[in-house]
Structure 1
Amino acid sequence: MITGSLVALVTPMRKDGTIDHGALERLVERQIRAGTSAIVSVGTTGESSTLTVEEHTEVIRRTIDVADGRVPVIAGTGANNTAEAIHLTKAAAKAGADGALLVTPYYNKPPQEGLYRHFKAVAEAVDLPQYLYNVPGRTACDMLPSTVERLAEVPNIVGLKEALGDLDRVRDLVALGLDDFALYSGDDATARASMLMGFHGDISVTANVAPEAMARMCKAAVAGDAEGAAAIDAEIAGVHRALFVEANPIPVKWALAEMGLMDHGIRLPLVPLDEWHHEDVRAALRAAHLLP
């Protein structure tokens, strides 16, 4: 089981929106040096919704090549069309991904039985470890713990990223007592508390800009070191907030560009961070000693 800080990696782009594979390689190397436990490639933070299937697969393949087995690479392959999710997951498996992260189908708002059948169909179609991803704030679809419990019985569904940001939900999921089933936070602001309550790690946006701090904080929290985890988390709490002043990944891509790690590239319908927020994000980065 993967534990600790897993980065939801951005897909770096040039100002014209083309993918910058050189910057991608540098970002992957930076994460590995920092102690990140795994890389999630082309998830929500990686702008999966605006990449073509060919681009999607190529970014995953390049990430796997650079990682070169040093850390696991989990590919974002979710879709609101079950056939498309199967296609993307097969492509990720062919590229050599160590697992797939599949978001709940967005917009079409399936009931719990629809969610169960969707994820079960993908798992049965592709022999690859698969992680469920629940983020109701983006999908208008909430996968309940009872459905997670049913899906955990499918042999190659091995974990869940829960991004509701509600500690009552965390408590309910931990209480299921699922053996060998990984539970990851998808909400940096509540990740420390979630891990201290029994989650195994955090699939993190903040780790893009502060990978070392997130790796140390998650290691402490998973080990049950509440005081140590709190001290580290306090250093980056302002970053957690700043990276969501607009829709993810707008702020995190701006922050990485401000840090000199990539260009200011993002694809429509997302746009660069509004100038109104620039100083707030800069201030959070400075407070965390990420900018001079």
Structure 2
Amino acid sequence: MQLSGSITALATPFDAARELDLDAWHRLLAMQLERGTQGLVVAGSTGEAAALYDAEYDLLLRSAVEFVAGRVPVLAGTGHSNTAKTVEQTRRAAALGADAALVVTPPYVRPTQAGLVAHYRAIADDGALPVVLYNVPPRTGGDMLPETVAELAGHPRIVAIKEARSEPERMQALLELQDRDFSVLSGDDPTACRAMLAGARGVISVASNVVPAAFRLLCNLALAGKAEQAGAWDARLQGLYAFLGVEPNPTPVKALLTLQGIGHDLRLPLQALSERHRDAATTMLATIRAIEDECRNSLAA
């Protein structure tokens, strides 16, 4: 498996009672596919995985796999703080039809680098699914270093890394490990264009929940080495990137989805977007609708 292009880390729509909204879920999936998204992540951190019950996880993943019907890869978030639980969840995702597992570094427990190697090798050796490493230090409290990734990249069941650190030096160190069987994907929307122009094969994005056509076009241009055109589109998306950071993810992106009629709320301890940012959300919605219309026309041309 070689993952590439625009991959969306899907938000999970809830209704006003904070229950799963499957109708909204299907509309979100349809929008992603219609506008060119090249892969989907179910129940990652943007999908509020920590707030999902097992039955809800199963329902979301099974329904996504059925809806997508093989048109794009479906990745399942399976990472836990415990290795045995991660192995179990990865087997669960495989049984539900996922194509790969997105496995975040174990949150909160802060293992050593040797512990990370042992953790990921145990998951990959189990063989349930191809594994995508995921490094996001602000959320987990630990940082998987490039030399650790180098120890893992040669494993036949470890196929990619989602790197959320933004420093160009970190991306360059990882790109030196990329080959036919191991892909480097950006996990940071504001620097994804730069990463792809440097050689990364794609992005696992939060922003593409609301601008899937724009991210498909951005990826197409960046991966083709069209730096000036890609940079111009990326510049137009900087306001969106900034808005998505005004409160913890996925609060801002779910506010924009709610304004589009896709879902209503988050689960505690996350709360709806603060009142002081709601006018900005309404303004941002108008901006991204205009961008999406332009990008859809460009992709269709």
Q: Same fold (TM over 0.5)?
A: yes
What's the counterpart of residue 138 of structure 1?
139
The Cα of 1:290 is off from its aligned counterpart by 5.2
Q: What does the per-residue CA deviation read over 1:18-72, in whole Å, with 9 as the maximum and x for residues that have no partner?
A: 0011111111111011010000111000000111122112211111011011111
**Structure 1-normalised TM-score?**
0.96
Partner residue in 1 for 2:195? 194
Amino acid at match of 1:121: A
Structure 1 match to 2:154:
153
Q: 1:280 to 1:83 in 2, by over 3 A?
A: same
Deviations 1:120-161 (A, max 9, x none): 101111331110000001111100011111111211000000
Aligned counterparts of 2:203 and 2:256: Cα–Cα separation in 1:
20
Q: How does 1:62-141 map to 2 (within 5 A)?
A: 62-141=63-142
1:41 maps to amino acid = V
CA contact (8 A) 1:38 1:74 kept: yes
Mapped to 2, the partners of 1:190 and 1:282 lie a distance apart of 25
Q: Which residue of 1 aligns with 2:259?
A: 258
Q: Distance in 2 between matches of 1:288 and 1:41?
A: 23
Secondary structure, counterpart of 2:217 in structure 1 = helix
- Mapped to 1, the partners of 2:282 and 2:229 lie a distance apart of 26
Asked if the contact 2:10–2:209 (Cα under 8 Å) also holds between the matched residues in 1, the reply is: yes
Which residue in 1 is equivalent to 2:25?
24
Q: Work out whether 1:14 is the aligned partner of 2:15.
A: yes
Task: Give the C-alpha shift of residue 168 in structure 1.
Answer: 1.3
Q: Which amino acid counterpart does residue 133 of structure 2 have in structure 1? A: L
Deviation at 1:287, TM superposition (A): 2.5
How many Å apart are 1:180 and its aligned residue? Answer: 2.1
- 1:286 paired with 2:286, answer yes
State the secondary structure of the residue aligned to 1:288: helix
1:217 to 2:218 alignment: yes
Matches of 2:38 and 2:273 in 1, distance apart? 29
Contact 1:152/1:178 (<8 A) preserved: no
Contact 1:75 1:99 in 2 (8 A): yes
Q: How far apart are the structure 1 equivalents of 2:178 and 2:218?
A: 24
Structure 2 letter corresponding to 1:42: A
Residue number in structure 2 paired with 1:269: 269
Q: Is the 8 A contact 2:78 2:93 kept in 1?
A: yes
Q: In 1, Cα distance between the equivalents of 2:58 and 2:288?
A: 34
The 2-side partners of 1:265 and 1:240 are apart by 21
Aligned-partner SS, 1:96: coil
Give distance in 2, aligned partners of 1:283 and 1:210: 15
Match in the other structure for 2:296: none
Letter in 2 for 1:275: E
Q: Which amino acid aligns with 1:68?
A: A
1:272 and 1:93 map into 2 onto residues whose CA distance is 33
- The structural deviation recorded for 1:99 is 0.5
Q: 1:211-250 counterparts in 2 under 5 A?
A: 211-250=212-251
| 1:34 corresponding residue in structure 2 | 35
Give the corresponding residue for 2:209: 208
Q: Answer yes or no: is the 8 Å Cα contact 2:178–2:184 preserved in 1.
A: no
Q: How big is the alpha-carbon RMSD for the aligned residues of Structure 1 and Structure 2? A: 1.4
- For residue 105 of structure 1, report the CA deviation from its aligned partner: 0.4
Shift of 1:219: 1.1
Output the CA distance in 1 between the equivalents of 2:127 and 2:78. 12
Q: Which letter maps to 2:269? A: P
Per the TM alignment, residue 177 of structure 1 is displaced from its structure 2 partner at its CA by 4.3
Give the whole-Å Cα distance in 2 for the aligned partners of 1:48 and 1:249.
11
CA deviation vs aligned residue, 1:66-119 (integer Å, no higher than 9, x gap): 101111101111111111111110011001111010000011100100001011
1: CA distance, partners of 2:288 / 2:145:
35
Distance in 2 separating the partners of 1:25 and 1:264: 15
Secondary structure of 1:289 counterpart: helix
> 2:79, 2:104 within 8 Å by CA — same for their partners in 1?
yes
CA distance in 2, matches of 1:25, 1:272: 22
SS of the counterpart of 2:289?
coil
